[in-house]
Amino acid sequence: MSTRMLVAPVPQSSGHPAAEVAHRDLISIQDLLPEEVRALLDLTALIKARPADFRGALSGKQVVMFFEKPSLRTRLTFEAGLSSLGGQAIFVDQTRSRLDERESLSDIARNLERWVDCVILRTFEHSTITGIAEHASIPVINALSDLEHPCQALADFFTLEEKFDDIAKVTLAYVGDGNNMSHSLMLLAASLGAKIRVATPKGYEPLAEVVAAAKKIAAKTGAKITITNDPVAAVTGADAIYTDVWASMGQEEEAQQRAQIFEPFQVDEELMSHAADHALFMHCLPAHRGDEVTDAVIDSPQSVVFDQAENRLHIQKAILLMLLGGGLRRFRPRSTNA
């Protein structure tokens, strides 16, 4: 596998979107061309509607999951999803030590490629994932790193498409920390031609390199990327409001300081009132109730946080099918010649 940079090069497509993704990595949203993102979302819709059609599609496939961080949704949806496709997931708990503590990433990768069909990694450092991908000849999936959370973002935009149908007409407002979640949401909005406004406190904006990459994609798709320090400006008229924890895993020592800085960015009923009347509330979970979001918002009829969580299962089944090449003959993507 090729070495990964902070901002990945755009892959070149030469054929059927679903077939082209087979045997590649999913480390960043940038690993997928816009038409491949479209094909993945269409496949997800088919899997969700007709799960029985895909039973046994990955029979005999084995996937190993190394998690340096605790997980509920990511672990269970990958395990349940792969099991329903006929494959087997092997979980390795790395929460007490980093993956490369005992031996080099290159040695680990060269072992894994001889035993299993795919590696799923949930790590602190993005370089851990790129290090495995550089040396492994099998697909590597980013199940969360400090740079991106692509599987979650894909489930989120699938959820938005279920609710609004035409994603190109949707304006998503992200309010909070310019973290891995904001990065993947920006890149995915750019690929799908959507509009996203990211509002953070000064000094907590998304990485400039990722913003530049998203805007480069947006220039081709018609998407609009806006970065601001004003949460009200971001949410005004928006179709969906998204937030995440103010202090991610590994930032616990900053939690008290961040709570003071981020307080004006709390998603409460007053902030939601500036959005469109039909606006949805979104969160990748787990939520710190009373910090980034109030109970009144996350428990309201506008909240789709559990729809997002459910769709992690369906999107990850589609990711596994596309990367491992199983069951694609069942899939007919919608035309990309719009």
The pTM score is 0.91
Question: Please, are residues 225 and 214 in contact by the beta-carbon 8 Å criterion?
Answer: yes
Of 75, 126, 135, 149, which is the active-site residue?
Answer: 149
Task: Provide CATH code, domain 17-148+312-330.
Answer: 3.40.50.1370
149 is catalytic: yes
Of 94, 152, 302, 308, which is the active-site residue?
Answer: 152
pLDDT value at position 334?
Answer: 53
Q: Is the pLDDT of residue 4 over 50?
A: no
pLDDT (mean) for 277-285: 98
pLDDT (mean) for 48-52: 97
pLDDT value at position 15?
Answer: 52
122 is catalytic: yes
Domain ranges, ordered by start, for the chain: 17-148+312-330, 153-308
Of 42, 146, 244, 291, which is the active-site residue?
Answer: 244
Q: b or e along 135-156 (b: 16 or more beta carbons within 10 Å of the residue's beta carbon)?
A: bbebbbbbbbbbbbbbbbbbbb
Q: Is the pLDDT of residue 10 over 50?
A: no
pLDDT value at position 337?
Answer: 44
Max mean pLDDT range (12-16, 98-102, 188-192): 188-192
Of 38, 284, 302, 308, which is the active-site residue?
Answer: 284
Q: Is the pLDDT of residue 221 over 60?
A: yes
- At residue 46's C-alpha, the angle toward residues 42 and 52, to 5°, is 155
State pLDDT tens for residues 228-241.
999 999 999 999 99
The domain covering 153-308 belongs, at the CATH homologous superfamily level, to: Aspartate/ornithine carbamoyltransferase (3.40.50.1370)
**What is the average pLDDT score of the chain?**
91
Q: Compute how many other C-beta atoms are within 10 angstroms of the C-beta atom of residue 2.
A: 10
Of 4, 38, 75, 122, which is the active-site residue?
Answer: 122
299 is catalytic: no
CATH fold match for the domains 17-148+312-330 and 153-308? yes
Residue 20 banded pLDDT, cuts 50, 70, 90: low
312 is catalytic: yes
Percent of the chain with pLDDT strictly greater than 90: 86
Calculate the CA 296 to chain-centre distance: 26
Among the listed ranges 176-180, 276-280, 331-335, which one has the minimum average pLDDT value?
Answer: 331-335
